[in-house]
Every structure is written in C-alpha cells, then in structure tokens.
A and B are shown apart, each in its own frame.
Chain A
Amino acid sequence: MEIDNKKLYGVGALFTSPNKVSDAAAKIAEKGYQDWDVHSSYPIHGMPKKMKLKWSPLGYFALIFGLTGTSIGLFLTYWTMSVDYPMIIGGKPSFSLPAFIPVLFELTVLLAAVGTALTMLFVLFKLPNNRHPLHDTDYMKEVSVDKSGIVVEAKDKLFNREEIIEIFKQLGADKILDINLDSDEVNYQPKILEPKFLIFLVIVAFGISFLGYFVNNKLLFMTPFNFMVDQQRLDAQSKSEFFRDGFGMRLPVEGTVARGQVYYQYKGKPELAEANLINPLVPSEKVLALGKKKYNTFCSPCHDYHGTGNGRLNGQFPNPPSLHSEKVRNWKDGHIYHIIVEGQNIMPSYALQLTEDERWSIIHYIRALQRSMNAKEEDLK
C-alpha cells in the first residue's frame, strides 16, 4: 500500500502494559519529539513527568479566577452595605469584614471552580471542536479497550516514518500502525465559533429562559401547585366579590365603636381635656411597670430615661424640654394625655402606638419620675 504523506496524521504504536508504555514515553521524550501523545483507557500516574510535559497553566487560571471572585465579593459587600444603601446590623459598622468573609469565600470558590472548569473546556480542550483525527481509527478502538498507545504526529519537526517505526519496534510495541487523515479532515481548520455550537448555545439559552419563565409565572399558578398562593383569605387592599361595592377592606359599621377604640372627643381642645379627663388607673406596681416599659420604648429616645429631655436622639432633633419643670409638674394628667394623643410642637401623636391604658400608665410613670427628682418632705417619711 502506498502512503500519501499529505494524508498521514502520524504513526501509532500499541503497548500491552502500562509499565511498557511509561518506559516508551520516557524514551520518546528523550529523543526530543514535540508533537506526540500517549493514550490509555485509565490514568497512568507519573506519566506527565515521564513525558516531560510542561506544568499545566490551569492552576494559574484558578488563582486568577479565585482572586477575581474575592475582589468581586469585596466590592459587592462594600458597595451594597456601605455605599449604595448603608446598613447597620447589630450596631456594627456598615463595613465590617468578619461578616463579609463568608461571602468572599463563597465567591472565591465559585469563580475559581466555574472559571477553571470553563477554561479547561474551552481554552485548553478547545471544546466546540470535538473533531480529532484519532477518532474512529483502529488505534483508538484498541486504546479505549485494554491497550495503551503512543502517537507521534507527522507535523513534528523530527518526524521520519521509518525511523519512528524502528524506535517503536525496539521499545517492544505490540502493533505499529499508520494513522491517516480522512479526506474531509485534510483541509479542516478548527474554528473557535463553530456555527453548530453557537446554535446549540442559543437553543439552550432560550430553553432555560422559557423554562424559568414558565415555572415562575405559569406553573406555580396552576391548580395543583398554587396552594400557597390561593388561600381563603382577603389580602389587604384587594378586590372582593362578596361585598356589593367590591372593596375588600371595610369601614366600621356606622354608629358603632370597636372595643378599646373610644373616640377622642377633645381633639384640638387641650383646655377641655385638662379639665375633664381623669386618670382612670390607680398607680400600682403593675401599672407602673407597664408605664415604665412603654415610656422606655416610646418616650425615652427623646425625653431620656429620666425625663430630662437629653435622650439618645440628642443632637438629631431639638431637645424636648425637661419633664421636671414647674410647668409640667403642675399640668393635670389630662393635659399630658392630650399631648400623647395629639402631639405638640415637633412631637408627633402616639395614639397609634399606645392604647388608652398604656397612655395612662405612662402618665403615672412620669409622675413617679417627677416625684423622684422633686421629692416633697412627706415622701421622706
């Protein structure tokens, strides 16, 4: 059989044992060939060293991708937590590294892993091109069963068919064969952007987008999957078919008052409130405890825990006057009640936050505070 050198891809040799192929690989590497490779159906440890392969650059890619992940993580946490929408969590500074380290770590690992895998597939393996001259050859059939083999490619500078066959014979090859290129492979140029692959990518992208849309917007609202959404409950501000006017939210029935929701009749009339309102609660330990709790929650930020007006928000608003002044001490309970309900100057109304009993309890507590600062002589007895 005549051999057309143009179509010759290389010369292959098959070996029966992994030790033989290792020794052979070491010899071939020694001769200085560049374009050659070893194939076996399982990994042979120590082979890279025998073949005198250069260290794979993949590790550096992993390092670069990992560091990129760390930087992105740092930027993400810094930007979101300290610049774009500064948030204080648990009283810690908005930029506090210990809390971000898990994020940095995750992003480092994620980017390193994904980046390394993609680099390996698309840069080192040149993935979209799945064509290799060795595919579908007798050589590959043998190698993928129980043999190991070496191929020296024809494009190697030192390539000389007879010489290589001689070397393989000396190395104890089982079988030596020429590997020829198929006719369509001769002029084949690998392309980076294989049209087939691009079409595949587009289909995958569309497929995933459609699936995501379908699941999140359609599937979850279909009958067996919608049990969380579809409940026998009226959502706030939603329509109701039950009522004639179609409103889901109802006004109270005319002429009625809900429990504990007595109308405040002295709106805008502090004098009347002072004159007519009497504290219905008797100061007891329970009442004072409730008053203290509510006072500390709602009043103390401005008025301070002791009513001095020098509270925790000191400096952000004008300080309120002290609750120990002669004026406030002489106010009747009704006046203070009126202020709690309606607010005064920059103090807003606390009617929504505090129930009636709580307001009166707070007044008792304020009285106790006042008395603690301006005790009368009889208190000492």
Chain B
Amino acid sequence: MSEFEFKYERKELKTKYFTWGIVLLIIGLVGGIFGYIVDNERAAFANVIALTWITSIGIGAMFLIAIEYIVGAVWSVPFRRVAEFLSSLVLVAPLVALPALLNLHSIFHWSHIDAVETDFVLKNKSPYLNESFFYIRFIVTFLLWFLFYFMITRNSRIQDNTKDQSLTKKNAVLSAIFLPIFAITVTFFAIDWLMSLEPHWFSTIFGVYYFAGSVLATLAAFTFIAIKMHDNEYFSVKMSNDSFYSMGALLFAFTNFWAYIAFSQFMLIWYANLPEETFWYIARGNGSWMIWSLGIIVVKFIVPYAILLPQPAKSDKKRLKIVSLWILFGHFYDLYWLAMPTLNPAGVSISWIDFVFPAFAVGLLIVVFHIVSKNKNLVPIGDPRLRRGIEFKL
C-alpha cells in the first residue's frame, strides 16, 4: 500500500456562490416583506414551506452526523464538515420562523379560540393544539437541537487541533443520546408546522413522512456540495469514486424509504376510508391538485429511482449532482403539496410569492454555509478515521 500522504491546505470558498446566495437572499427578503404586505396569508404559508425546508436540511444533517458517528462510518469522514456546516441551518431556522410566528392566526385554524370552542374535534385536540403549548414545544425543540449542535460540532472542531481520539467516542455517545430526542422533536415539529395546518386531520405516520423527506433532502444537499467541493479541490485530496458510492446508495435508499412511507400513509387511509382521515387526500385530489398529487409520484419517486437504479449511477458524480438538485426541488414540491391545499382548496394557484420564499431558503442555505465555513477546516483533520476515509475503497 502506498504511503499515506495528506497535507491539508485550507482554501477559502469561492465568493462566486456567496454572491449568488446574497442575491437570492436579498430577493427573498425584499419579496418576502412585500409578500407579507400584499397577501399576508399566502406569504405566511410560503414562509412555512421555506421554514420546513430549511429545518429539514439542518436537522437532517445533524441526523446524518449522528448516525455516521454511531455506526462508525468511514467513507463519510472526509465530508463530515459539509454536514456540520449544513446542520448550522437549525440556528437560523427560528429566524425564518419568526414572521410565521407573528402571523400565527393566518396560518393555523386551531389558533382561533372562537373556532375551537364550537368544534368538537378541535376542542378535544386543544390540550395539545393551543398557542402556549405550541410555543413551548417550539422553544424546547430548538433549544435541544442547539444544545446538541454545539456539543457535537465543538468536539469535532477541538479534535482538529488536539487530535484527541476520545472525542470521537464522546461524539458517538452524544449521537446515541441525540437520536431518540431527534425522533421525538422532529415528529413534534412536523405535526406542529405541517400537519396542524389541517387541524382536523389524523395521521399517525406523518412524523416519519417528514423525517423521510428531510433526510432525503439533506442527503441531496450534502451530496451536491460534497461533490462540488471535492471537484474544486477544497479537500486537498482526490478521492476515488468509491467514496461517493455511499451517497448514491443512501439517496437511492431514502428515495425508496420515502416512497414506502408515503404509500403506506396513503394506502392505509384509502383502505380504512374514515372520513376524518380521507378528507386530507380528497382535498389533494380536488381540481388541479390531482395533477400535482400524481406529479409527486413522478417527481419524488420515479425520476430519482430511474436515475439512481443502475449501479454505475451511484458513483457517477455528474449524475449524482443532477439527481441531488432534482431531489432538493422535489422536497419543495412535496412541502408545497403538504401545505398549500389548505390555503387554495379549489386548485393549484401559483403566485410570485411562492417563488420568493424558496429563493430566500436557498439563498439562506448558501450564505449560512459560507459564513459558517469561514476560518474553519473543511476537512476534520484530527479525526482518527480520516485516513481510512480518504483511502476508502468499496
């Protein structure tokens, strides 16, 4: 075996993408403010989509780091910083949530006390769906996420200098504690922000549905950025295509997992045929929403499945980049499908506000990624598994 030679030289990320990010962010910000002035309700709904998209990727990246620490993954070590930078999106997510929180009454039907009073279902759900408990859940969820974000990334950063191997073990323990907390908080988050848009609806699998979509979107963002950074030599080393195979395999796996969960949710509700559950799907079959709903199968399942199915595709960087961008778009598509039929029950109606908030979310992702990565090593140079990760072969 050839001698291991790896000298990490830090390179600042190019400002090209940062500029684009700033431009998108400003478009999003200005457009968002105008949107709130012009059409408060629609802007609030679009805001929820942006918030859930951003949070998906932030919390999904933390999940990715945690799961890699626990299973002792080797291939992902050189790319771990990418996931760490992405996970910092949970820090800005509350800021994205702020305008939506200020317009809570335009979003959530259950926040109107007079409507809840006369409604049997909502009255019985009100111990959970009330404003104060909603805020408590929001704050506790994000505090927990912040806590684990700071602990895990701090250990990882210290390791760069000290090369202390015990920190890897410590992070594995932290990750093991984090995962069950993650499962519960992400379910709360999904129920609070997406499922409670239709407060009468019941679906016990909804948390998993959001989780599956989140991890899929995270993997897509992670794959795209990792490949881009690798090809622009930010990692100071060329890795073989084997290193990227796991990304393709995970994308493929989570595409299938998402489809499995989405279909499970649909089939059980369709089969049981209970009115308090089916109305949600009936609303999504209403008018042009039917086309959008059928489009989900194509956008979120058939296209990524077909691209990723052949074995060579999973380690082909070009195809991985394309499918990653597609999946990130698909996540927007999916979230739009979850949220918007509540606002426009008659059919799909797209307005410029619907584009402003995704632009804001994407811009935010790019900007946050650049800011967080400043003055930090783009490779975890102290990780004991780094060498094996760089030389990773299938």
Residues of A within 8 A of B (CB): 19, 45-46, 59, 90-92, 98-99, 101-102
| B interface majority secondary structure | helix
Residues of B within 8 A of A (CB): 1, 242, 263, 266-267, 270-271, 273, 310-311, 393-394
Taking the closest CB of chain B, its distance from the CB of A59, in whole angstroms, is 7
Q: Which residues of B contact A92 (CB under 8 A)?
A: 273
Taking the closest CB of chain B, its distance from the CB of A369, in whole angstroms, is 28
Which of B270, B393, B394 is close to A98, meaning CB atoms less than 8 Å apart? B270
Q: Is the CB of B266 within 8 A of A98?
A: yes
Q: Is the CB of A99 within 8 A of B311?
A: no
CA distance A296 to B307 in the complex (A): 56
Q: Is the CB of B271 within 8 A of A99?
A: yes
Q: Which residues of A contact B273 (CB under 8 A)?
A: 90-92
Taking the closest CB of chain A, its distance from the CB of B20, in whole angstroms, is 38
Q: Is the CB of A45 within 8 A of B393?
A: yes
Decide: A101 near B1, CB < 8 A? Known: A59-B311, A91-B273.
Answer: no
Which of A46, A90, A91, A101 is close to B267, meaning CB atoms less than 8 Å apart? A101
Which of A45, A59, A98 is close to B271, meaning CB atoms less than 8 Å apart? A98
Q: Is the CB of A90 within 8 A of B271?
A: yes
Taking the closest CB of chain A, its distance from the CB of B273, in whole angstroms, is 6
Q: Is the CB of B393 within 8 A of A99?
A: no
17 cross-chain CB contacts under 8 A: A45-B242, A45-B393, A45-B394, A59-B310, A59-B311, A90-B271, A90-B273, A91-B273, A92-B273, A98-B266, A98-B267, A98-B271, A99-B267, A99-B271, A101-B263, A101-B267, A102-B267
Taking the closest CB of chain A, its distance from the CB of B80, in whole angstroms, is 23
Closest to B393 in A: A45
Q: Which residues of B contact A90 (CB under 8 A)?
A: 271, 273
CA distance A89 to B271 in the complex (A): 9
Closest to A99 in B: B271
CA distance A379 to B311 in the complex (A): 82
Closest to B270 in A: A98
Q: Which residues of A contact B266 (CB under 8 A)?
A: 98
- Known contacts A45-B242, A45-B394, then 5 further A-B pairs from the complex at CB < 8 Å, ordered by chain A residue: A46-B394, A59-B310, A90-B271, A92-B273, A101-B263
Taking the closest CB of chain A, its distance from the CB of B278, in whole angstroms, is 12
Closest to B310 in A: A59
Taking the closest CB of chain A, its distance from the CB of B64, in whole angstroms, is 25
Taking the closest CB of chain A, its distance from the CB of B300, in whole angstroms, is 16
Q: Is the CB of B267 within 8 A of A19?
A: no
CA distance A117 to B156 in the complex (A): 45
Q: Which residues of A contact B270 (CB under 8 A)?
A: 98
Closest to B240 in A: A46
Q: Which residues of A contact B393 (CB under 8 A)?
A: 45-46
Taking the closest CB of chain A, its distance from the CB of B7, in whole angstroms, is 24
CA distance A379 to B387 in the complex (A): 94
Taking the closest CB of chain A, its distance from the CB of B142, in whole angstroms, is 38
Taking the closest CB of chain B, its distance from the CB of A140, in whole angstroms, is 27
CA distance A177 to B266 in the complex (A): 65
Taking the closest CB of chain B, its distance from the CB of A213, in whole angstroms, is 38
CA distance A274 to B310 in the complex (A): 82
Q: Which residues of B contact A46 (CB under 8 A)?
A: 393-394
Q: Which residues of A contact B267 (CB under 8 A)?
A: 98-99, 101-102
Taking the closest CB of chain A, its distance from the CB of B189, in whole angstroms, is 29
Q: Which residues of B contact A59 (CB under 8 A)?
A: 310-311
CA distance A91 to B271 in the complex (A): 10
Q: Which residues of B contact A19 (CB under 8 A)?
A: 1
Q: Which residues of A contact B311 (CB under 8 A)?
A: 59
